[in-house]
Amino acid sequence: MTKTKLHELFDQEGQSPWIDNLSRDWLENGHLAHLVELGVRGVTSNPTIFAKSISTGVSYDEAMRRLLPDHAVEETYWELVVEDIQRALEVLAPVHAASDGRDGFVSLEVSPALAHDTAATTTSAAALHQRIQAPNLLVKIPATVEGLPAIEETIAAGHSVNVTLIFSLERYDAVIEAYQTGLERLAASRGPGADLSDVASVASFFVSRVDTEVDHRLERRAADGALDPAQLHQLRGHAAIAQTKLAYQLFLDRFTGPRWEALAAAGARRQRPLWASTSTKDPSYPDLYYVDELIGADSVNTMPDVTLDAFLDHGTVRQTVTEDVAGARAALDRLADAGIDLHDVSSVLEVEGVASFAKSFDELLQRMQAKAVELGHPGR
């Protein structure tokens, strides 16, 4: 097998490349298996990805004809998604086995409508794990205020979690706390000699969207005369990388010391930071800006198709996320001095992220309803 830059990324620097996409076509034509051969070590999905996959083309028509006579439209959606996830889990199972449970994961998100309902999120996460029962399944739970206790409860129940929609260092710290507290509760419930190695988690820190929001605010301030062109040029495009480098430092700090060592002695796995939203939104930035600058051991970068292809072609394999941490802190200080409130930025992005996934989910159900009518099964 020919080694690719994705293999080098993991073998040399310890970062796991995942793909941020999934479709039934990929499962049927072998494309997902081909990506795994190229070095992809995991899959993430979200309601927007499934909305695009299910509502376009004809690859789901046969399954919808089979399901719609006995299922409501939303029930049909979950049947379709679970079928795809189960097949993807089978494709990634060899990676999971060969990595001793470190990689080979596929993520499935709870309904975005539950983002602010702790009890319903906890129940839904448990139901998805019960329904699929695969050791390489990660159920995605958003890192909202209401999501934090659901994360803790899900870990305490012995289920693996992908924590999604993290936009700030403060919320990331709370996510780590929820994970470690959940592990401690799980260890206590299992008693002396408890083995925690069957529980895995990643914490998905969203990257490029931070620059999109911060750059927009900087440009507004420049238009209002609060910043001159030189200041605007100096400040644009630095918030996301700087904050993510500090997030990695927080990861290193929180997964060392006596508390973590006690959990590690029971087989607990570190909750790896996962860099999400790593496609470049601003065409003036390099196409691999949020990949090449954030390479570090024991982390994950989940890339959309175009970004993954670009990395295979011209990515740079070198540890970068630990470089110039002092410069990262200084960059955030400069932004604060320029009137950028990163706490407010993260709050806005969280609201927008939850709303975006909820909108995608609602639009998908509407499209599925229209498709059901087209197929002669108007649904229930």
Q: Which of 3, 52, 140, 371 is catalytic?
A: 140
CA dihedral angle for residue 286, residue 288, residue 294, residue 300, rounded to 10 degrees: 160
Separation CA 340–CA 300 (nearest Å): 28
Structure tokens at 25: 């076509």
Structure tokens at 226: 């609060």
| Location of structure tokens 């070095």 | 39
Whether 369 contacts 380, CB under 8 Å: no
CA neighbours closer than 13 Å in the CB half-sphere of residue 268: 26
- How many other β-carbons are positioned within 10 Å of the β-carbon of residue 377? 19
Separation CA 261–CA 170 (nearest Å): 23
Q: Give, in order, the Cα–Cα distances in Å from 191 to each of 126, 184, 187, 266, 267.
A: 22, 11, 6, 11, 14
Closest alpha carbon to 74 in 92, 50, 94: 50
Closest alpha carbon to 361 in 49, 23, 72, 87: 49
Residue 140 among the catalytic residues: yes
End-to-end Cα spacing for the chain: 50
The angle subtended at Cα 351 by Cα 80 and Cα 306, nearest 5°, is 55
Q: Three-class SS of residue 105?
A: strand
DSSP state letters, 250-272: HHHHHTSSHHHHHHHHTTPPP-E
In terms of C-beta density within 10 A (0-12 exposed, 13-18 middle, 19 or more buried), how is residue 33 classed? Answer: middle
DSSP state letters, 162-188: EEEEE-SHHHHHHHHHHHHHHHHHHHH
Catalytic residues: 140
